[in-house]
Protein backbone atom coordinates (compact mmCIF):
# COMPACT_ATOMS: atom_id res chain seq x y z
CA UNK A 1 0.00 0.00 0.00
CA UNK A 2 2.95 2.37 0.41
CA UNK A 3 3.09 3.20 -3.31
CA UNK A 4 -0.60 4.00 -3.70
CA UNK A 5 -2.20 7.42 -3.68
CA UNK A 6 -3.80 8.40 -0.40
CA UNK A 7 -7.58 8.03 -0.22
CA UNK A 8 -10.29 10.60 -0.79
CA UNK A 9 -12.82 8.72 1.37
CA UNK A 10 -13.03 5.91 3.92
CA UNK A 11 -15.95 3.48 4.12
CA UNK A 12 -16.61 1.28 7.12
CA UNK A 13 -18.55 -1.92 7.57
CA UNK A 14 -21.08 -1.56 10.40
CA UNK A 15 -21.42 -4.82 12.35
CA UNK A 16 -18.20 -6.18 13.83
CA UNK A 17 -16.26 -3.14 12.61
CA UNK A 18 -17.88 0.07 13.85
CA UNK A 19 -20.21 -1.53 16.37
CA UNK A 20 -20.29 -4.78 18.30
CA UNK A 21 -22.03 -7.38 16.15
CA UNK A 22 -25.46 -8.19 17.51
CA UNK A 23 -26.89 -10.56 14.87
CA UNK A 24 -29.89 -9.05 13.08
CA UNK A 25 -30.02 -6.14 15.49
CA UNK A 26 -33.22 -4.13 15.31
CA UNK A 27 -32.81 -2.44 18.72
CA UNK A 28 -30.91 0.86 18.86
CA UNK A 29 -30.35 0.36 22.60
CA UNK A 30 -28.06 -2.59 21.83
CA UNK A 31 -25.64 -0.51 19.73
CA UNK A 32 -22.16 -0.37 21.28
CA UNK A 33 -19.09 1.01 19.49
CA UNK A 34 -16.22 -1.40 18.92
CA UNK A 35 -13.06 -0.57 20.89
CA UNK A 36 -11.29 2.34 19.23
CA UNK A 37 -14.09 2.94 16.71
CA UNK A 38 -15.04 6.44 17.84
CA UNK A 39 -11.38 7.48 17.79
CA UNK A 40 -10.86 5.91 14.37
CA UNK A 41 -13.78 7.66 12.71
CA UNK A 42 -12.76 10.95 14.33
CA UNK A 43 -9.26 10.53 12.88
CA UNK A 44 -10.66 10.18 9.36
CA UNK A 45 -12.74 13.33 9.85
CA UNK A 46 -9.75 15.19 11.28
CA UNK A 47 -7.87 14.27 8.08
CA UNK A 48 -10.66 16.05 6.18
CA UNK A 49 -12.03 12.96 4.47
CA UNK A 50 -15.67 11.96 4.14
CA UNK A 51 -16.77 8.77 5.88
CA UNK A 52 -19.45 6.32 4.94
CA UNK A 53 -20.93 2.98 5.92
CA UNK A 54 -21.56 -0.04 3.69
CA UNK A 55 -23.58 -2.73 5.43
CA UNK A 56 -25.20 -6.02 4.45
CA UNK A 57 -28.51 -6.37 6.28
CA UNK A 58 -29.96 -9.68 5.07
CA UNK A 59 -32.20 -9.80 8.16
CA UNK A 60 -34.56 -7.54 6.20
CA UNK A 61 -34.94 -10.11 3.40
CA UNK A 62 -35.27 -12.89 5.95
CA UNK A 63 -38.07 -11.09 7.80
CA UNK A 64 -36.06 -10.99 11.03
CA UNK A 65 -35.86 -7.17 11.14
CA UNK A 66 -37.69 -4.47 9.25
CA UNK A 67 -36.05 -1.72 7.21
CA UNK A 68 -37.39 0.73 9.80
CA UNK A 69 -35.59 -1.17 12.58
CA UNK A 70 -32.33 -1.20 10.60
CA UNK A 71 -32.74 2.52 9.93
CA UNK A 72 -33.30 3.12 13.67
CA UNK A 73 -30.10 1.21 14.51
CA UNK A 74 -28.25 3.20 11.83
CA UNK A 75 -29.60 6.43 13.31
CA UNK A 76 -28.20 5.40 16.69
CA UNK A 77 -24.82 4.68 15.07
CA UNK A 78 -24.97 8.14 13.48
CA UNK A 79 -25.79 9.66 16.86
CA UNK A 80 -22.86 7.95 18.59
CA UNK A 81 -20.34 8.70 15.84
CA UNK A 82 -21.48 12.17 14.83
CA UNK A 83 -23.10 11.18 11.54
CA UNK A 84 -21.80 9.61 8.36
CA UNK A 85 -21.67 11.24 4.95
CA UNK A 86 -23.33 8.28 3.24
CA UNK A 87 -25.07 5.08 4.27
CA UNK A 88 -25.38 2.20 1.83
CA UNK A 89 -27.44 -0.76 3.05
CA UNK A 90 -28.09 -3.99 1.19
CA UNK A 91 -31.44 -5.44 2.30
CA UNK A 92 -31.11 -8.58 0.17
CA UNK A 93 -30.47 -12.19 1.07
CA UNK A 94 -27.37 -14.08 -0.02
CA UNK A 95 -29.19 -15.95 -2.79
CA UNK A 96 -30.94 -12.97 -4.39
CA UNK A 97 -28.13 -12.17 -6.82
CA UNK A 98 -28.17 -8.42 -6.24
CA UNK A 99 -25.28 -6.13 -7.18
CA UNK A 100 -25.09 -4.53 -3.75
CA UNK A 101 -24.55 -7.35 -1.27
CA UNK A 102 -20.89 -7.56 -0.31
CA UNK A 103 -18.68 -9.01 -1.78
CA UNK A 104 -20.39 -7.44 -4.84
CA UNK A 105 -19.18 -3.89 -5.55
CA UNK A 106 -22.52 -2.06 -5.61
CA UNK A 107 -22.51 -0.41 -2.20
CA UNK A 108 -18.87 0.67 -2.48
CA UNK A 109 -19.49 2.13 -5.95
CA UNK A 110 -22.68 3.89 -4.80
CA UNK A 111 -20.98 5.27 -1.68
CA UNK A 112 -18.07 6.61 -3.75
CA UNK A 113 -20.54 8.22 -6.18
CA UNK A 114 -22.53 9.74 -3.30
CA UNK A 115 -19.31 11.20 -1.91
CA UNK A 116 -18.11 12.38 -5.32
CA UNK A 117 -14.88 10.36 -5.20
CA UNK A 118 -13.26 7.77 -7.42
CA UNK A 119 -13.73 4.24 -5.98
CA UNK A 120 -10.03 3.65 -6.65
CA UNK A 121 -9.26 6.45 -4.20
CA UNK A 122 -11.47 4.88 -1.52
CA UNK A 123 -10.54 2.60 1.38
CA UNK A 124 -12.98 0.05 2.78
CA UNK A 125 -12.40 -1.08 6.36
CA UNK A 126 -14.15 -4.23 7.54
CA UNK A 127 -13.86 -7.42 9.53
CA UNK A 128 -14.60 -10.20 7.04
CA UNK A 129 -13.75 -11.34 3.54
CA UNK A 130 -16.97 -9.94 2.05
CA UNK A 131 -15.73 -6.45 2.95
CA UNK A 132 -12.38 -7.14 1.26
CA UNK A 133 -14.13 -8.66 -1.74
CA UNK A 134 -16.42 -5.66 -2.20
CA UNK A 135 -13.46 -3.31 -2.04
CA UNK A 136 -11.54 -5.33 -4.63
CA UNK A 137 -14.56 -5.66 -6.93
CA UNK A 138 -15.02 -1.87 -6.86
CA UNK A 139 -11.33 -1.13 -7.39
CA UNK A 140 -10.96 0.21 -3.84
CA UNK A 141 -8.37 -0.68 -1.23
CA UNK A 142 -9.30 -2.94 1.69
CA UNK A 143 -8.06 -2.91 5.25
CA UNK A 144 -9.16 -5.89 7.33
CA UNK A 145 -9.55 -5.77 11.11
CA UNK A 146 -9.91 -9.44 12.04
CA UNK A 147 -12.29 -10.56 14.75
CA UNK A 148 -13.11 -14.00 16.13
CA UNK A 149 -15.33 -14.62 13.08
CA UNK A 150 -12.67 -13.74 10.48
CA UNK A 151 -11.27 -16.77 8.66
CA UNK A 152 -7.54 -17.11 7.97
CA UNK A 153 -8.03 -17.15 4.20
CA UNK A 154 -9.83 -13.80 4.52
CA UNK A 155 -6.77 -12.38 6.28
CA UNK A 156 -4.53 -13.62 3.47
CA UNK A 157 -6.74 -11.98 0.82
CA UNK A 158 -6.66 -8.53 2.41
CA UNK A 159 -4.56 -5.68 1.03
CA UNK A 160 -3.64 -4.80 4.60
CA UNK A 161 -4.47 -6.18 8.05
CA UNK A 162 -4.68 -4.16 11.25
CA UNK A 163 -4.89 -5.22 14.87
CA UNK A 164 -7.62 -2.69 15.65
CA UNK A 165 -9.68 0.06 14.07
CA UNK A 166 -7.34 2.96 14.92
CA UNK A 167 -4.48 1.03 13.29
CA UNK A 168 -6.68 0.36 10.25
CA UNK A 169 -7.31 4.08 9.87
CA UNK A 170 -3.58 4.82 10.19
CA UNK A 171 -2.97 2.35 7.37
CA UNK A 172 -5.76 3.91 5.30
CA UNK A 173 -4.46 7.45 5.79
CA UNK A 174 -0.72 6.84 5.55
CA UNK A 175 -0.22 3.52 3.84
CA UNK A 176 1.49 2.01 6.91
CA UNK A 177 0.62 1.01 10.48
CA UNK A 178 3.19 3.26 12.18
Instruction: Please give the order of strands across the beta sheet that includes 51-56.
Output: 86-90, 51-56, 9-12, 122-126, 141-144, 160-161
132 contacts 142 by C-beta, under 8 angstroms: yes
Residues 6+ away with beta carbon under 8 Å from 16: 34, 126, 127, 128, 147, 149
Catalytic member of 13, 21, 127, 131 = 13
Residue 87, classed as helix, strand or coil, is: strand
Helix axis angle, 129-138 relative to 106-115, nearest 10°? Answer: 60
Phi/psi at 109 (5° precision): -65, -45
Which is catalytic among the residues 15, 21, 127, 131? 15
Query: Does the annotation count 13 as an active-site position?
Result: yes
Distance CA 120, CA 98 (A): 22
For the question of residue 15 being annotated catalytic, the response is: yes
Catalytic residues, by residue number, are: 13, 15
Amino acid sequence: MAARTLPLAVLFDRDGTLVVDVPYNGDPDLVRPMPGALEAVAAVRTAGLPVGVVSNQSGIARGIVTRAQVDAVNARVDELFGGFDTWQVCPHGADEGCVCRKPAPGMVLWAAAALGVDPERTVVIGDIGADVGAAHAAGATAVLVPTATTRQEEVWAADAVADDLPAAVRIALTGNAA
